[in-house]
Amino acid sequence: MSIDLSQFHQVFFEESYEGLDVMESALLNLQPDKVDSDTINEIFRAAHSIKGGSGTFGFTDVADFTHVVETLLDEIRGEVRDITSDTVELFLKSVDCIRKMIQQHDVGDPYDATDANAIKAQFETILSNDLPTQAGESLAITPVTASHEIQNDSPAPHGWKIYFKPHQDILRTGNDPLRMFRELESLGPLIVAVDVSALPHISLIDPEACYLAWSLELKADVPKAVIDEAFEWVADESELSITPVVVEDDQVSAPEQLTPYRPAVKGSDLSKVEVTSIRVGIDKVDDLINMVGELVITQSMLGELGLDFTMKSLPKLLEGIEQLSQNTRELQESVMRIRMLPISFTFSRFPRLVHDLGRAMGKKIELKLSGEQTELDKTVMEKIGDPLVHLVRNSLDHGIETPQERLTLGKPETGTITLNAFHQGGKIVIQIIDDGAGLNKAKILEKAKQNGMVSDTDVLSDDQIHDLIFKPGFSTADQVSDISGRGVGMDVVRRNIIELNGSVEVESTEGEGSVFTIRLPLTLATLEGQLIRVGRQTYILPLISIVESIQSFQGMLHRVVGGCDLLRLRDEYVPIIQLSSLFNIPSDSKDMEDGLLVVVEGDNMKVAIFIDDLEAQQQVVIKSLEENYKKVEGVSGATILGDGTVSLILDIAGLIKLAGVQRHEYKAVHKGDDYAA
């Protein structure tokens, strides 16, 4: 019976990724000077199961690669060999390499083995150097007869003779010799002779036991390791000898007959369908099941009530409906919770990042993580990863000083970067805190003046100066380093965060460090909205983008010939967008003075939106328009209001684009003003 193993591939991939994460974090925690045997065992176990799995599923490249990693780990575990910081680096590299290989298998792309071979060679060099005396022992994981060890990697030119006598229990453990022979057959011509001498009398036969032994001859030019692999799972429980065929005369297996070794390509027909899945804690699913159970009870209660309804049972009905609405609310909450994952999923990549970057820059850095259990919507988490990486790199590059500088300044040699996450008022707050140099206000201001963002006469508060780093085209890096300044600025970070309906702020004290604070909604599925009315249409503005609303703005309006109207708001000029003319819908307000202006911020600029009226503020569930229709310019989605009607959610950046308000055009009129908040 053959089983289609490909159905388990996804599980194997996911488990391998987890195993690699375990290896990585354990390696990062490893102190080369005091090796902790638990940690080594942990790394070894993870590597071993990746190797075993990849062998089973036919990912021979992964298995081969992991094999050398495992061998070295085993020697370290057996205290045959010491671990050095260089070995740790090599292990980290190998983790990356295995991850890459598995990813390639995952998506079904061909893998470029150059890197893997280079790293593998490094391992082999270490392994062959001052070969430890207990080598035979440490190789117990691939039991082979010691005398043939040398041939492990060199193929025998004329094939191999194999004697295989499995333990009687082999079939009970789910192993099938036939499968192994088939695998050998895929390597080249195979001659199989069975030895039935051990068969007992038929009345004594245990049908589940194996009494047979085999002599095989494989006429293929393959390394011994490949044959070992076929017997990998049964080697412990059988008598196995693998010897090269010795050519005594010419007629025995002429070289031409040999089939060149080609690794069996299994799983190449991997479906390329991208499956995004969430691993959900069983407790959440249990909650959900309980909740649905209650819902069913309430429903049957209401159903029964309906069968024989009199006005007397009205209170009972109302009670039932109340219960139903509570069940529904709880159900909604638990369904939302399924999408929530602890932020440790994102944080977990930082120890490695900080480790590598710190090494590259010669800085000593300690990374502290806190609040890793804080939960966040999966979609938000995926999108916040890159901005966070940028901010952490920034802290490393611009924030933390070199060890020498720190010592001169009287600070501890090792700098600290803290990643902190917590919930606050229905939002998640993520902070990146460093004890580095802090933002250099004088330098920022000077740069801003050079770029014409600030005029010489402007007096700015500290916060306003700090805020300048988020403006487009702003960089204080004296030179472009490998780490930052690659064209992605803080403005992109802020834009990405704003796209998630979040915000980012910086606080900094020169010489003491900086704190970047990101606030994000818990989920992208809902939004705090401000309902606005134009004519008979109700639209929703994301509350977070609203700066203020102005009811009476007489004398604050300026009409620019050939341009749009401007609102003079204290010391800045804000372009006005008329929703009714932009969307081509009737409006109540005949005159500018009848309506209201809502000042909003989006795409790094402020605009004032002219509307008829402000209505309630409420949390809305975001629905997609694209799902059944298509993208609508100026609209980011839709929602359903309490009365069941659909209301569109406005997209500020889209409105600005639609209205054709261009930043440069506006800047030409009032140069620099838009940046001086």
Q: Which residues bind another protein (CB under 8 A)?
A: 537, 582-585, 623-625, 627-629, 632-635, 638, 640, 644-648
As a whole number of angstroms, the distance between CA 35 and CA 33 comes to 6
What string of DSSP letters covers 496-549? Answer: HHHHTT-EEEEEEETTTEEEEEEEEES-SSEEEEEEEEETTEEEEEEGGGEEEE
Nearest residue (CB) to another protein, 369 versus 632: 632
Tokens encoding 161:
């003779």
CB of 598 to another protein, least distance (A): 17
Contact present, 477 and 485 (Cβ < 8 Å)? yes
Nearest CA to 675 out of 477, 470, 501 is that of 470
CB of 563 to another protein, least distance (A): 22
Nearest residue (CB) to another protein, 454 versus 638: 638
Nearest CA to 428 out of 487, 363, 503 is that of 503
Nearest residue (CB) to another protein, 305 versus 625: 625
H helices of 245-338, in order, are 282-307, 314-338
What string of DSSP letters covers 429-449? Answer: EEEEEE-S----HHHHHHHHH
CB of 141 to another protein, least distance (A): 47
CB of 532 to another protein, least distance (A): 14
Nearest residue (CB) to another protein, 354 versus 620: 620
Beta strands in 88-186 (DSSP E): 160-166
Nearest residue (CB) to another protein, 250 versus 627: 627
As a whole number of angstroms, the distance between CA 635 and CA 436 comes to 42
As a whole number of angstroms, the distance between CA 560 and CA 591 comes to 17
Nearest residue (CB) to another protein, 354 versus 635: 635
CB of 623 to another protein, least distance (A): 5
CB of 352 to another protein, least distance (A): 37
As a whole number of angstroms, the distance between CA 263 and CA 146 comes to 26
Nearest residue (CB) to another protein, 648 versus 656: 648
Nearest residue (CB) to another protein, 274 versus 456: 274
Tokens encoding 352:
């490695």
CB of 109 to another protein, least distance (A): 21
3-state helix, strand, coil in the chain (%, to 5): 45, 20, 35
Nearest CA to 416 out of 514, 506, 507 is that of 514
Nearest residue (CB) to another protein, 155 versus 637: 637
What is the chain's length? 677
Nearest residue (CB) to another protein, 625 versus 669: 625
What number of H helices and E strands is found in the chain? 20, 24
CB of 379 to another protein, least distance (A): 19
As a whole number of angstroms, the distance between CA 396 and CA 357 comes to 8
CB of 107 to another protein, least distance (A): 18
CB of 583 to another protein, least distance (A): 3
